[in-house]
Amino acid sequence: MSKQVLTVDGLQYSNWSREIFEQMREGGVDAVHATLVYHETLRETLTRIGEWNRRFEAHGDLIMPVHAPSDILRAQQAGKVGIFFGAQNCSPIEDDIDMVAVLRQLGLLIMQLTYNNQSLLACGCYESEDSGITRFGRQVIREMNRVGMVIDMSHSSERSTLEAIEISERPVIISHANPSFFHAAKRNKSDKVLHAIAESDGLLGFSAYPFHLKNGPDCTLEDYCDMIARTVDMMGIEHVGLGTDLCQNQPTTVLEWMRNGRWSKEMDYGEGSANNAGWPQPLAWLRDSRDFPNLIIGLRTKGFGDEEIARIMGRNWVELLERTTMLTT
């Protein structure tokens, strides 16, 4: 298979620069779900959008905005990297349901209902008691369905995820996580959740963040592709993709913002260990976006055919967005 295979990364939060965009293009990446915000308010979210507008202006030869799935194909044809926005928390809408439509109109295609903690919408994966979807959350899910904003449960708890899938009339995704059978991180997902995502016609994006992998930074490409193969057997080839969670060139202060936001005076160590206080060492086979062709090689070695590889590398993401991002009324 030549590099013409469409490649979509379902989650990155790098320290964006021209160097990063050049690496994406060199690695054959056609589109990236870029985290816009974590704990930001609505006003701060607008500032992040403004920052991206400046990037599109300054680096228009390398990147372009994605407002609809067809823009990903346009980016591929133009030799550019399409950027589509996602929020890793519901903080941008604050307590105002009208902001769902406003942010969708501004290009926010994906929103997580919570980031690790209990939110106004749902329960996060680190809470000891899983309260499920809130009254407000039910209303927001309906509104997200209406305006074509994708529901992402990557950092949510099990009950909340299963309830969101039941409530939503559109497919629900987990943009960046792995099966618990591969590594028992709190952020990874049970067989029950994976079956429910597939049954809802949703998608799981496989994370390459070392804390989500067996053997951490020493996880091999062979083991990673074996995880993909086992998950495909469980979920079906149409319901999996990539969501690497690459966070290139980010300082430790950004990691602390991701974990702590404004809610804690103490350091939150994520998976519960002070050993995880800093960024993990990168994987030898995915140091940055230039290494995406290694995934194609690994999948082929595992026995996947060209059609299956094309689905995993990007086509499933495009089809998922086609199913979920159109306005219904």
From CA 65, how far away is CA 45, in angstroms rounded?
A: 16
Q: Where are the beta strands (DSSP E) in 125-275?
A: 150-152, 172-177, 203-206, 240-242
Pick among 3.10.129.10, 3.20.20.140, 3.40.50.300, 3.40.190.10: CATH of 8-324? 3.20.20.140
Q: Region 112-121: what's the mean pLDDT?
A: 96
- The pLDDT tens digits for 6-44 are 999 999 999 999 999 999 999 999 999 999 999 999 999
Q: Is the pLDDT of residue 221 over 90?
A: yes
Question: How far is the C-alpha of 324 from the C-alpha of 329, rounded, in Å?
Answer: 13
Measured CA to CA, the distance from residue 229 to residue 309 in angstroms comes to 11
pLDDT at residue 3, rounded to an integer: 55
Is the pLDDT reported for residue 218 higher than 60?
yes
pLDDT value at residue 270:
62
User: How would you classify the pairing of strands 108-112 and 150-152?
Assistant: parallel
Predicted confidence (pLDDT) per residue in 51-98, tens digit: 999 999 999 999 999 999 999 999 999 999 999 999 999 999 999 999
pLDDT band at 123 (very low <50, low <70, confident <90, very high): very high
157 neighbors 130 (Cβ within 8 angstroms) = yes
289's tokens: 């976006």
Identify the H or E element spanning 233.
helix 221-235
Q: Distance (Å, rounded) from C-alpha 122 to C-alpha 160?
A: 6
Residue 241, beta-bridge partner list: 205
User: Measured on CA atoms in the order 312, 313, 316, 321, is the torsion positive or negative?
Assistant: positive
Q: For residue 2, what pLDDT is reported?
A: 44
Give the DSSP H/E element, type plus range, for residue 146: helix 135-147
CB under 8 A, 24+ apart: contacts of 58-62: 58/18, 59/18, 59/21, 62/18, 62/21, 62/22, 62/24, 62/25
Quick one: average pLDDT of 233-238? Answer: 98
What number of other Cβ atoms are within 10 A of residue 99's Cβ?
A: 19
- Indicate if the pLDDT at residue 156 is higher than 90: yes
Compute the average pLDDT of residues 261-277. Answer: 72
Q: What is the pLDDT of residue 22?
A: 98
pLDDT band at 220 (very low <50, low <70, confident <90, very high): very high
The residues with which 87 forms a beta bridge, in sequence order, are: 37, 111
Residue 300 has pLDDT above 80, yes or no: yes
Cα–Cα dist 26/81, whole Å: 10
Residue 145 has pLDDT above 70, yes or no: yes
Question: In this structure, how many other beta carbons lie within 10 angstroms of the beta carbon of residue 150?
Answer: 28
Predicted confidence at residue 1, as pLDDT, reads 41
pLDDT tops 80 at residue 329: no
Cα-to-chain-centroid distance, residue 290? 19
Distance CA 37, CA 50 (A): 12
What pTM value is reported for the model?
A: 0.95
pLDDT of residue 4: 76
Over residues 168-213, the pLDDT tens digits come to 999 999 999 999 999 999 999 999 999 999 999 999 999 999 999 9
Mean model confidence pLDDT for the chain? 95
